[in-house]
Amino acid sequence: MSLRKIAVLTSGGDAPGMNAAIRAVVRAALDRGVEVDGVIRGYSGLINNDFVPMDLRSVSDIIHRGGTFLCTARCPEFKTEEGLQTAIENCRARNIDGLVVIGGDGSFRGAQDLSKRGFPCVGIPGTIDNDISCCEHTIGYDTALNTCMELVDKLRDTSQSHDRCSVVEVMGRHAGYLALNVGVAVGATCILVPEIAFDLQKDVIDRVREMMKTGKKHFIIVVAEGIGGTVEIAKKIEEETGIETRATILGHVQRGGSPTLIDRVLASQMGYHAVELLLSGKSNRVVTIQHDTVGDYDIEEALKMKKPFDRDMYEMALRISI
């Protein structure tokens, strides 16, 4: 069966660079004579029949914009057989032969479910957490890193002015890649991540005390969201050390902003490759980047993979932040 029309959607949390990926998908498909529909609000749009025809100008002037102009939403109904069948029926009614899903691992499970039911899907990793194990860099990760770094740098200015300790929470519910790299970039005194167990007294409070003895007067502690209790950690540090300590939760500002050059290029490469996969008759694939080369994995294989946490970098960060 020749490919006549495909659809593209964004699912899960938004990430800078998603618009660049949409743009690449739309234009790569149109260049090959394949029609494209955009799906509004992810899998909810598939179920609610919320499609919009796309042309070359539909994706003009979006490569530099953060977020996703197709919008995104969580969709519990899509996890049901009824929801899946409704989505497939809606796509078939519009003569859609394949789907590109831009999102994280939860989004890929949805794409896998569709593929198992005979509807071709390809996933593109878009998440600021960088927690897709088969992919070295996910769309949005580089922009989020730079956003966090800039915000923590601003916090450092006021922490230094007041001889304070700033405990900064960055995103990463189950993964500490964002926290680790931001921590290294800002010279954090301590970095707390889900992958490495820590003792607050020994690894944070005692460390701050020892550094105070060397004349250090202000501190940055970077905490991954998955650790939790950021405000309590700040209170405990202040109680134990006497240094004024403030907790700052960066929150969803980390998801926003114009994507960096790296994310724009990566998104463009991945979007183009996703269309090539569908054109070649492949399905149930996730586009990846490994060693600066774009490739792809079977979704089931990709979801089973575990991304190792860089403990060497973590140890290096501790040794040079004294």
Catalytic positions are: 129
Are 172 and 189 in contact, with CB atoms under 8 Å apart? no
Q: How far apart are the first and last CA of the chain?
A: 63
Closest CA to 198 of 153, 242, 243, 233: 233
Single-letter code of the amino acid located at 253: V
Tokens 């294989």 correspond to what residue?
301
Give helix 261-279 / helix 141-162 axis angle, nearest 10°. 160
Classified as helix, coil or strand, 131 is coil
What tokens were used for 321? 């932040």
CA distance to 170, 226, 248, 319, per residue, from 177 (Å): 10, 12, 19, 18
Tell me which residue of 122, 119, 132 sits closest to 175, measured CA to CA: 132
Output phi, psi for 163, to 5 deg. 55, 55
- Only one residue has tokens 């922009």, namely 143
DSSP secondary structure, 163-201, as one string: T-EEEEEES-SS--HHHHHHHHHHT-SEEE-TTS---II
> Assign residue 42 a region: left if phi > 0, alpha if psi is -120 to 50, beta otherwise?
left
Distance CA 127, CA 180 (A): 16
In this structure, the chain runs to a length of 322
Ranges of H-type helices in the chain? 18-31, 42-48, 81-93, 105-116, 141-162, 177-186, 206-213, 230-241, 261-279, 299-304, 311-320
